[in-house]
Structure formats: structure tokens, C-alpha cells
Structure 1
Amino acid sequence: MRNLFPTANEAQRLLNELPKHLRLMAQFSLATGLRQSNVSYLRWDQVDLERGFAWIHPDQSKSGKAINVPLNNDALSVLQEVQGDDVHYCFVYQGKPIERTSTKAWHAALKRAGIENFRWHDLRHTWASWHVQRGTSLQELQELGGWSSYEMVLRYAHLASHHLKRVAGNVDGTTGTNLVQSQKKKSPAISSEALSIMVPEAESIRSNNLLFYSG
């Protein structure tokens, strides 16, 4: 898995360089996080545009469990654009499901977009990374992505650390820091007038002590 994923601007550059049939599939993948095979063979009878949901049957998912896919606005826009292209499948090219995505056109688009070492499956990782960076919890991500175990989404945990800043202050004031601050507030301040009296007296005592010890 890549350590760094394209920003939204970089992803948009890639989409702009892709031929239409791959661009629409890539857009849908970035919007839903679905694996390539699930997008390639997504049928219209698996989509409810009115309710904004799609579903992946157990025999189509890697985990062997059904996946309910909530469709956000970006995903719905893509499906509306391809609606009518084919009776059975959502994404087709020359009348057939788009089975191969890592084609010459894909690699040429990556090169023109200035993105290196990026596979089609990294669209799913990018989707997951963007979600976590925008505050989606790992538990929610697991459900959205259809991962079979929580351990599978822990790879994205480091991307969520900055969100903990929001709650880091919940324990402010429960340690000795507050005690030190309160003690400082209780200590009376010494005025400049008192200092003007104390300093000469201290010097006088110091001088007398020196004379005493020298004698």
C-alpha cells in the first residue's frame, strides 16, 4: 500500500486525463471505495437511485458478506450520467462490462497527470484515507468498505491522529500543572517600593558580614 495518496487536486488531474469510460468508473470508485470487480460488474438491479443505495451480494464480496453501499452525491451523479448506456450493467465499454482497467490508457493518464506508482486498487485506499482524514471513524469506515475485520482498517489509524486534538483538552487541569499555576497566583507580588527598601538593607547586611569574617 502506498504511504501517500493523491490529494483531491491530483486525483482531479488524473480524472481529467482518463478516457470517459475509465473516468466514470474511477469517479465512482473514489466516491464509494468499491473494489474494481464490484464496479465493473455492478448491475442496475443492484442500485436504488431513489433511495441512494447500492448493494453487493455475498458471492460478489471478498468478505463473503453482503455490502450495503450508501451513494453520496458524487456517486449518484456518475450513475445518472451512465444511465441508459446499457440495460444490465452500469459501466460498459463497447457494449460489455469494463473488465480491464489497468490498460495503456490508464498508465498514459497517470503519466500525463504526474502521478507515479499508483494502481487502480489504490483508488480504494485513497477513498479510505480521505474518509479518515475528514473525520470518519475506523468503525464507520469498516462498515462502509465492507472489511471483514477491524484489523483491516487499522492501517489508516495514523491518518486519524490529528482529529484527537479536538478532545485532547478534555483532561486539562487534572494534573499538577494547575496546582503550580494556582500557587503562583497565591504568591504575593513584591512591589517596586518594597524592593527599593530591601536591596540597600541586604547590601548593608552583606557588608557587615564581610567585616565580621575578615576580623
Structure 2
Amino acid sequence: MSLFKRSSSPNWYYKLYPPGGGPVLYGSTGTQDKAKAQEFHDRLKADLWDQAKLGHKPRYTWNDAVIRYIGDREGLASLETSKTHLRWLDQHLSGVQLTDIDRSRIDAIAHAKRMEPRVVQTRKGPKKLGRNVSAGTVNRVVGVLKAVLNAAVEWEWLDRAPVTKRAKVVSKRIRWLTPVEAERLLAELPTHLADMAQFSLETGLRRSNVTGLQWSQVDLVRRVAWIHPDQAKARKAITVPLSDAAVAVLRRQLPKKRKPEHVESVFVYHGSPVYQTVTAAWKKALKRAGIRDCRWHDLRHTWASWHVQRGTPIQVLKELGGWETMEMVQRYAHLSADHLSQWVQPMTEAPAKLHLAAR
């Protein structure tokens, strides 16, 4: 039978024999509706006949492009985020011919996304907030859509991709803690979270790199740790020099008991790795410390902000933080004003000198 089901998916799959021979074609129709699946199958079969007998150019659907796009990008750190956006886009583009995805359709999809309420995850499940998603979220979703279309142009499945405007995004301030705030927070956190937070403030590592840190990635004698390429967001190895405070934090983890299957994990709680850091304990500690609007990732922002304020060159900070582009690091550049001081000082001294000369 040309249509069939698989135990691993609720969708219908097709099997087609191209006219004139060639490899058998298998694939998902992208739908659970048998009538729609049959329509998809018949249209694809007619397209194959047109290609073989009339020399027509193949017609591809959004589903075809997504499957190849994901296959070409297996192993990329950003792929899981892209998959989240692609699953949302499926409701708007499943079964649609690539040639039918024009600017007006993309604009309509962007508007639909913009009107969605923002959702946050709570202990009781997803919760809708009273405001819509941000322009940045819309840009990221449309960006994935256009990335698929641009890839289709490279594959010669499309002649050109539609040109669209990006939604204007207002840059938000970077949330970072003052040393006094950080000290208050560490004092209020339970011991295991306080150690992880202090290590984050000392190294600037992302949460996943802290929670997933293994003893095989640490050399206390050389005072260095490292993040492997497959663990880094930019897929490049990161060397992490360890300060005295960071080394002290790691030494405190040595005597902790670990379950046999987690013996290599650095940060544990009751013998098991800590994967969730933004817990009720984190939120209560923030409240007791009098700190508002602070996420765990803001510890990384704090580390970078402190570095810039202490005079660390931006290029050095880029390497320490494992950022892929300078653009990501430039967000912190405004926190350093040393290069402007020479221009301010004469302006503040000149009036005083002129006043004394006049006397």
C-alpha cells in the first residue's frame, strides 16, 4: 500500500515508485488525516510523473525542506531551539508548497506569533502572562523560517527567498548584580546552590556547563577547567582559568558523597547532579536578599560586567566567555568608561584653572 503508519509517529507515511525507475521514495505526509495524506500522496505522485515525462521542475513542500534542513544541521547546539520554532511553524506551513510562501504569508505568520500571549513555565505547568511575546521572539521564529527558505535556494529548490523586514527590537538593559548584592544572595542560598552560584560568578560559565561539569574536566593543580566543544554553545572548546575562590569552591565538593552512577559529577545534592537551579530555594533566597528581576543567567552577565568594569579587554573577555562573535561581547562595552576619561578630565579642570588665573 502506498500509504502506511509507523508505530513511532501518528502521521501517515507514503511510499512511491518514480516513473521510469530510480530509488523508492519514502517520507512523512505531515498529517494524521488519511484523506489529507492521500491528497498529499496523489499530488506528489503527479509531480513525479510530470518530472519524468514532461521535464517539469520538482515541487517541494515546507515539510520536505524542514526534514532536509534538520538533517543537514544535526549536531549544532542551536538545533533544538530551531526545532521548537519549527514545531510552532508547522501549524501554518505544513503541506504548503515552498513557492507559495511569499512575503504576505510570512508577514501574517509574524503577526500571529506577535499576538500570542507570553507563556512561562511554573511548577504547576505553563502559565499565560498578560502581555504578548516580544519582537525579539518574533524575529527568532521568522529567522528560522527564512533560514529554511534560504537553504532551499542553496539546494535549488527555490529560485529566491522572500525579502521581509525585521521587527524593531528595543535593547533591554543588562541585569547584573553589584558585589554587595551578590554577597547577600550567596549568604541566603542553600549551600549547594551558593557554591554553584559563586562558581558561576567566578568563571562566567553557563548553567548547563556548571551543572554538567565533570571531574575529568578539572585540573586543580594547574588551576584550570575546560568545556568540550560538544558542551559549548558555540561548539568551540573553552579554557576556564580558575581563581582562588573558584578553586576553593571545587575543593569543597571533593568530600561529598556521590551515587555510583554520578561519581564523576562535580556539583551534587544528596548524591545526584543538580540540573534545576531556579527552584523555590533560589526564588526565596532572592526575596530574602531583597533582589528583584534576577535570573540564573544573570550571574554570567554579572561576571562579564565585573570584568569590563575592572578593565579586562573586550577581546580577552570574548575568549574567556566562549562567545562566537564580538557583537555578543559588545553588550558590555558601555560599562567601561576608561577610554573616555582623558576627554572628560580637561573639561572639569579648565574652568577651575581659569577662575584661579582671573583672581
Superposition deviation, residue 37 in structure 1: 0.5
Larger Rg: 1
* 1:146 and 2:322 correspond: yes
State the partner residue of 1:31.
202
Residues 100, 2 of structure 1: alpha-carbon distance in 2 compared, 3 angstrom cutoff = farther
**Aligned match for 2:272, one of 93, 96, 117:** 96
TM-score w.r.t. length of structure 1:
0.75
Cα distance in 1 for partners of 2:215, 2:321 equals: 20
What is the correspondence of 1:108-123 to structure 2 with a 5 Å cutoff?
108-123=284-299
Superposition deviation, residue 94 in structure 1: 1.2
Say if 2:304 and 2:332, in contact at 8 Å, map to a contact too: yes
Say if 2:175 and 2:301, in contact at 8 Å, map to a contact too: no
3-state SS, counterpart of residue 84 of structure 1: coil
Structure 1 runs (4+) greater than 6 angstroms displaced: none
State the partner residue of 1:157.
333
Deviations 1:121-145 (A, max 9, x none): 0000000000000000110110000
Over the matched positions of the two proteins, sequence identity in percent amounts to: 58
State the partner residue of 2:307.
131
Which amino acid counterpart does residue 137 of structure 1 have in structure 2? P
Bigger shift: residues 5-14 or 118-127: 5-14
Cα distance in 2 for partners of 1:80, 1:95 equals: 16
Higher relative contact order, structure no. (Cα contacts within 8 Å, ≥ 6 residues apart): 1
Q: CA RMSD in A?
A: 2.1
Superposition deviation, residue 3 in structure 1: 3.4
Cα distance in 1 for partners of 2:343, 2:315 equals: 20
Superposition deviation, residue 21 in structure 1: 0.5
State the partner residue of 1:51.
222
Q: Greater share of strand residues, 1 or 2?
A: 2
3-state SS, counterpart of residue 197 of structure 2: helix
Say if 2:174 and 2:301, in contact at 8 Å, map to a contact too: no
Deviations 1:55-94 (A, max 9, x none): 0000000000110000111111100111132431110011
State the partner residue of 1:62.
233
TM-score w.r.t. length of structure 2:
0.46
Cα distance in 2 for partners of 1:108, 1:4 equals: 19
Which amino acid counterpart does residue 95 of structure 1 have in structure 2? G
State the partner residue of 2:243.
72
Superposition deviation, residue 168 in structure 1: 4.8
State the partner residue of 1:14.
185
Q: Greater share of helix residues, 1 or 2?
A: 1
Superposition deviation, residue 5 in structure 1: 2.0
Unpaired runs of 5+ residues, structure 1, are 182-215
Which amino acid counterpart does residue 42 of structure 1 have in structure 2? L
Unpaired runs of 5+ residues, structure 2, are 1-171, 355-359
Aligned length: 173
Cα distance in 2 for partners of 1:103, 1:125 equals: 20
Superposition deviation, residue 9 in structure 1: 0.9
